[in-house]
Amino acid sequence: MRNSPHKCELLRKDRERYKVCWSARSVICPELEMKQNHNAEYEPTDLFGVLTHAALTNDFVNDATETYPLPENETPHPNTVFYRIRNLSVLEILNQFNSAMERIIEVAVEDGALEGEVDVAIDITDWRYYGDKNDPMVVLTQAKKGTNRAFLLATVYAVVDGERFTLKAIPMGPFTSKEEVLEDLLDCAEEIVSIGTLYVDRAFFHGRLHQSSEAEGDQVLDARH
């Protein structure tokens, strides 16, 4: 049975995403570390491969190890992945993420991918969480998908040829100042690109924030959510 044109296009895009992510490992992996001994069974790249596969398939790590396109004896057990992640603090993970993003941005700038005015968007994204509500950075939010717990991530990205190019991400806890986050993300974007139209998540829009955005002189469209 032949796939529909729409299905074929989705499969093609999935293959392209995999190729891009695997090709980018030589740029990203040197910026990432998994605290482990030199004689550990799996290299950090093996663990990041599973995590990348889980992200691309929008799946849990437990399930991602079952569908990971390598023989079972070459695929890290999910408990191994979890153990290595638990050895890292939230700050260490964030610093590694931003270090990797800075390296990617360097490559993009060298290739001229961020030249000229580009549209920029600032979003708040929630990742649903099913663990302990008292875990670090867990925020209580509107119930959805069987849980009222989530991790919140504020991101700023440039829109290049219709695709999102993340410039920076900041995790948000229950007491995080939205004003400071917005200012930080705007400063980051202004250092990297020439901003055309700025799109800001509605969660940032209340009195002081709106006035602050207008004072920056950017064209701001409240077009998110």
Q: How far, in Å, are 7, 121, 152, 169, 218 from residue 179 at the CA level?
A: 42, 16, 15, 15, 16
In order of their start, the domains of the chain are 5-86 (no CATH), 115-224 (3.30.420.10)
d(C-alpha 156, C-alpha 114), whole Å? 14
**pLDDT tens string 186-199:** 999 999 999 998 99
Is residue 45 a contact partner of residue 28, using CB atoms and an 8 Å limit?
no
Residuewise pLDDT in 10s, the chain (225 residues):
555 666 666 667 767 776 777 677 777 777 788 877 777 888 888 888 888 888 888 888 888 888 887 777 778 899 988 888 888 887 888 888 888 888 888 888 888 889 899 999 999 988 888 888 888 888 998 898 899 999 898 999 998 888 888 999 898 888 889 889 999 999 999 999 999 989 998 888 764 455 545 445 445 554 444
Q: What's the confidence (pLDDT) of residue 94? A: 81
Residue type, 60: F
Is residue 167 a contact partner of residue 188, using CB atoms and an 8 Å limit?
yes
**Which residue has 């974007």 as its token pair?**
189
Residue 201 forms beta bridges with which residues? 224
**pLDDT tens string 60-71:** 888 888 888 777
